[in-house]
């Protein structure tokens, strides 16, 4: 083979590798974003579950001790959680 054929072959290999690197980078970004969205939703569902448990516990407490007063509601000024991203 001549040197020019080697050069063209190496250029083709290099271009193919660059294309694969770009494809892998795009896939990595998509996977990372999907993980971040999943993590946010998991955290939000944890907060919602915590609030729900708080209100259930509060209701049980009020039923068991109707004369007792509770000083404040911890979630009164809590920001609303948006479920959509």
Q: Give me the DSSP letters along the chain.
A: --HHHHHHHHHHHHHHHHHHHHHHHHHHHHHHHHHHHHHHHHHHHHHHHHHHHHHHHHHHHHHH-TT---S--TTTTPPPPP---
Number of domains in the chain: 1
pLDDT of residue 85: 44
pLDDT of residue 76: 59
Residues (pLDDT < 70) of the chain are 1, 72-85
Structural domain of 78 = 1-85
């Amino acid at each position: 083979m001549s040197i020019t054929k080697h050069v063209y072959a190496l250029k083709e290999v290099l271009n193919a590798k660059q294309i694969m690197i770009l494809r892998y980078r795009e896939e990595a970004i998509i996977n990372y974003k999907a993980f971040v969205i999943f993590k946010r939703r998991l955290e939000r569902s944890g907060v919602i579950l915590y609030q729900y448990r708080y209100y259930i516990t509060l209701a049980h407490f009020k039923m068991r001790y109707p004369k007792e007063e509770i000083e404040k509601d911890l979630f009164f000024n809590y920001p609303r959680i948006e479920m959509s991203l």
